Chains A and B, each alone.
Chain A
């Protein structure tokens, strides 16, 4: 029961607390199934998960629950969702089985509960199973597949449906930047599989254009001016030059600018910084070629800045 007016970092702290509690609960579920009852099957884990899920949702739906009961309920339901999805995936011996189950559970949680921490944890679980499947199956064009989540997340953030599903939209929006900068660079097998990336780049280009046009239509009454054109050209060149992980973080920053979101601006800066540091160790090309690419991106962005700044000083470009 966090106050909706609380800053985002407090919700992050509460989410981490709920996640740690959920992990301990999963261990408890595992201990009951494997050690106490001695059922060595994933199906038994899923049964315990269903009980957890039911109990957790029941607790958080009680109108007179206290803060402690609420936290316990969120953690229990989240652990239940993970145990059901993981248990059935283990039973089937296929990671992908966890994806539709986790998605279905997340959808059910959105229907029966308005708790945003639980909704976020359930959505993140479904995203986690998707990523685990792509990694386990060494899926070709995984970058392009994951990039499809970005436009959906962006659309849901900008045009929320009647039922508030913002936590799921945030997960969808952050899935590609997190996947491309945290998972892909660490996977040794990516050298043997075609990871794709050009469709992801094309998606980012289209989204940059969409965000800028949306912004321009609603925030100003002016004709498309030279400053905006300079930004669009710079964004498109950067999308072509940088690996899609880099342009994804810039897209997050553009979204933050358009909507005036400090959390997304902070996230974008952190992701871009992380991207540049990780890019140093990336094996996709030599350090020399990476240096030329980064310098080119830097020059393009600086030229765009200089052009807009000059226009502002001359009074031709207002925003």
Chain B
């Protein structure tokens, strides 16, 4: 069985990747286990023991992070663990005292309290965790306060959450431009863009199919997609984000085509209109896919100048 492994592999990159992956996988499984454990709300473990365990975990994480140097991968991981312990501690306080506080308050306080550790760790993974906590806090605040008060509708809340993710992306880019090179991990940029555009995609599609939905849905999607395309093709070249926005935009355009065909020809006005509508839609979708391929081919060639991308 003669198997030849690819020879083009960058050994030092993958060695670093493997060590980071092993550390992150170990820490994430351990922390997920701790979250599961306290979510079980085990009766045999009294409140004092629960608080004691969590506070001990929190203190040990912070002290160990300081001892191992907080800018080292192990130190950064331990500070992430401290942030998770803080959140679980709040959840247990919520379980034990039945405070009646809304969930958004828990997430808001959590995000504020861990901010110093997030800043100190200089870790993009820690910033991503903080972003997820903030976005969850905002989503819950919208759902539990703004929507019941009539300040926002559910659709508008969806748009606000998507735009918030894009605002975080803008903040990330400004921080990198300001010299925070340690934050410049490509995966964080791409993930923030994917989350923002992915969330905005839902109200945009809802508008296209419902027609009853709010027009801000499609407007926000178009503005954000166009803005990201301009920024990441001209100012900060990042082809992955161009591919993400183009892909989502192509699907929205397909949906607009389907809606247009439904309005003009109709899918339910007899056999001939149904068949004609579907034929037109097939050509529309194939044309959009071809246009997407052509656009991405051209953009890729322009942005990489023949160097290739991953």
Contact = CB atoms under 8 A, between A and B. Distances in A.
Interface of A: 1-3, 5-10, 12-14, 16-18, 20-21, 24-25, 27-28, 31-32, 35-36, 66-68, 70-72, 75, 158-159, 214-215, 218-219, 231, 250, 253, 257-260, 262-263, 265, 269, 272, 276, 279-280, 286-288, 290-305, 308-309, 312, 319
Interface in B60-76: 74
B285 A308 contact: no
Overall SS of chain B's interface:
helix
Contacts of A75: 282, 285-286, 289
Contacts of A303: 26
Contacts of A31: 271, 274-275, 278
Contact of B300 (A3, A24, A300, A308): A3
Overall SS of chain A's interface:
helix
Contacts of A16: 247, 251
Interface stretch (B8-16, B152-160, B174-182, B220-228): B8-16
9 contacts: A17-B254, A36-B271, A66-B290, A70-B290, A218-B5, A257-B17, A294-B29, A294-B33, A319-B15
Contacts of B308: 5
Given A31-B278, A250-B25, A301-B22, A218 B36 contact: no
Interface of B: 1-6, 8-11, 14-15, 17-19, 21-23, 25-37, 39-40, 42, 74, 239-240, 243-244, 246-247, 250-251, 254, 271, 274-275, 278-279, 281-283, 285-290, 292-294, 296-297, 300, 308-310
A71 B294 CA distance: 11
Contact of A7 (B4, B29, B239): B239
B282 A72 contact: yes
B25 A291 contact: no
A263 B310 CA distance: 8
Given A7-B240, A293-B33, A20 B254 contact: yes
Contact of A24 (B29, B74, B281, B297): B281
Given A5-B308, A262-B310, A13 B246 contact: yes
A260 B5 CA distance: 9
A158 B1 CA distance: 11
Contacts of A262: 310
- Candidate in B23, B239, B285, B297 with the most chain A CB atoms within 10 angstroms: B285
B160 to A, nearest CB: 24
Nearest to B274: A31
